[in-house]
Structure 1
Amino acid sequence: MASDLPCHHRALVLEAVGAGFETKKIPMPSLDAGSAIVQVLSAGVRSYHREIYNGQRHYNFPKLIVGGISAIARIAAVGPDAVALHAGQLVFADCKIHARDDPDSLFVTAIHEGMNDRSKKLITDVWRDGVFAQYAKIPLENCIPLDETKLCRQLGYTTNDLMDIKLEPGETVVVCPATGGFGGAGVQVAVAMGARVIAMGRDEEELARLSAHIKSGTPRASIETVKLTGDLETDTVALQAFGTIDAVIDFTPPFACKSTHLKSAVEDVIDYKVMALNITLKGKLMYEREDVVLFVKMLESGLFPRGKDFADVKAFAMEDWNEALDTAAEHIGIGKVVVIEPWS
C-alpha cells in the first residue's frame, strides 16, 4: 500500500532542547500493522510550544525528535489490519497516544514522555516523532475520520480552521477562564451540547465577542458572561446570582495558578460537602478518543461558529518555524490559531 510513497520527506528536527529546529530530509517511516502514514496538511502550533522546545518548560522527551502534536492530515497509506480507514481520507491526527495493552500508560506526541517507563518506551521506540513534517506515522486509532464534503464544501471550513467533563443538556456549567483558546472552545462545546453556559474571564470585550458570535450562530444558545475581578468574594457573589451550578471546567494556564477564580466557582464546597452533596472533583489529561469522535460529529452537524470574522488563522511555512512559535505564544484567544503547513 505504501509503494507510491517517497523514500524521504522534509521535517523539522530538534537535536537538543534550546538548539532550535532544522529543516532536514529524513527517511519515510515504516508502515506496519496498527499504523498509518499520513500526509500532514496543517500542523497546529500551541502557545506553549516555544517554551517546551527552548527549555523554559522542563518537559522530558527523547532527542532527536520531529516536533509538533496534532494535525489535520490525509491518509497516505494504512497498515494491513486497517478495515475502515483508507488512503485519501481526511483525518484529525490526534496527539494523545495510549499503550494498547495498558491505557494508563500514555504520552503527548513530541512534547512529553509520560509518567512511567512504559510510556517512555512507546515515545522512544515506537511513536517517536510529531507532525512538523510532510509525513507522519501514527496509530490507526489516532486517525479520527473527517467528513471532508460536509466540513469543507458544505460548511466552508478550511483544513487550517479545523485545527482550532461529563455534561448533560440543560445543566449549568461555568467555564473559566473562557477567553483563551481552550476555554473558548470549551464554551462552544458546552453550548452545542445544550448546556446553560456561564463564561468567566477578565477581558470583557472578548467575552462580549464570544457571546455575540455564539448567539448569532445559535439564536437559542444560553450563555451568560461574568467578568473576573480577582476578588474572591465579589466573583463568588456574581456566580451565586445564577443559582445552582452543575459543573465547573477550569482551563487555568501555569502562570495563573494563584488565581482565585476556581475557588469562587466552587465556593466553600471543598470540605465535607464534597461527600454530603455527592460532588465530583475530576482531574483529566486532555480527553479520550470518544470525546474527539463526538466533537467531530457536532462539528459536522454545523453546531460551531465559523467564518473569517471569528477564525483568525496565521499559517507559516516549515522554514519559518521560529516565527510560528513566537506568533503562537502571542496569538492567543478565542478562534486564534497558528499552524505550520509542511507543503507550502
Structure 2
Amino acid sequence: MAAFNLTPSDTSTFTLTGIPGLEDAHVWISIPFTTCYIICLLGNVSIPLVVFKEQTLHQPIYLLLCMLALTDISMSTCIVPKALCIFWFNLKGITLSGCITQITFLTTASAMHSAVLVTMAFDRYVAICNPLRYTSILTQPRIAVLGLVSLIRGIVCALPVPPMLSRLQICANRIIPHTYCEGIALAKISCGDLTFYRLYGLVVTLIIDGLDLTLIALSYCLIIRAVLRISSKKAYQKALNTCSTHICVILMSYTSYLFSTVAHRFGQGIAPHVHVILANIYVLVPPMLNPIVYGIKTKELREKMRKNILRR
C-alpha cells in the first residue's frame, strides 16, 4: 500500500491528477464511482456464492459466469480504490513500482475477461448447434482447464509489461493526467524511444482483441445459420434468448474498450477529461452491469438469487 499512498512531493513518485479539468468536482464525481463499485462488488460476489451453493447451477454457463464475475471484480478493484483516494483524500502520489503493478494487473484481468467472453460464445455455440453433446463436450474439468488457460494467457500478455515500463526514460514532468496508471498515459511522459512499446501494444491488441472478436463473430455466424434452420417458432425464440444476454455483455465490454483505445491512440483533438472518463467507463460500467443483465435475463439464476435473499 505504501507504493500507492506516497505524497507527490517525493521525487521518486508520479502524480495522478484525477480527471483533468474537473479537479474541483472530484468529490461529486466520487459519488457515481463509489455507487458503481459497490453495485459491482455486490453483484459479482453474489453470483459465485449462489452458483457454488446451489447444486442445480453447477452447469458450464454458470461456472463461466463465475469466472466473468471474478475478472470484473479484479478489473474494478485495480482502479477504483486509488481513484477514490485521489477524489477524497488528495492522495495523488504513486511510485513507479506501484504504477507498473497497477498496469500489469489490469492487463492480466482484461485479457482474462476477453478470453472468458470467447469461451462463453463457444458455450452458446455448442448449446444451440450441438445440444445433444453439450454435457459431454463442456464438462466441469474442461471448464476448469479453459479457466486456467485464460489465466495463463492473461499472465503471458502482462509479463513483458514490467520490464518494458521499468526501462522507460521518464521526463522531469512526472504528472499523469489520469485517475490510474495506464500504459499509454505513462508512455506519453517518457522521453525515450517508444517504438518497441507501441509496437508491442499494437500487436497485443490485434492478437488478443482481434482474435477474440473474430472467434466470437465466427461462433455467432454459425449460431445464426443454425437458428435460421429452426422451423419451430418456440425453439427459435428460445435459441435467440439464450444468446441475447451474452451479446449484451459483449457489446458493453468491447464497445467501451474500443472507444477508449481509439480515443487514446487517434483522438488527439479530444479533450483530456474525455479520454479519462472513457477509460474509467471501461473498468466501471460493464463490471457493474454484467451481473444485472445476467440476473434479469437468466430465469434460473434470478430465481435462485431471489430465493437466497428471501432466506436471509
TM surpasses 0.5: no
In proportion to residue count, which structure has more helix?
2
In proportion to residue count, which structure has more strand?
1
Looking at both structures, which has the greater relative contact order when contacts are Cα pairs under 8 Å and sequence separation is at least 6? 2
Q: Could you tell me the TM-score, scaled by structure 2's length?
A: 0.27
Q: Could you tell me the TM-score, scaled by structure 1's length?
A: 0.25
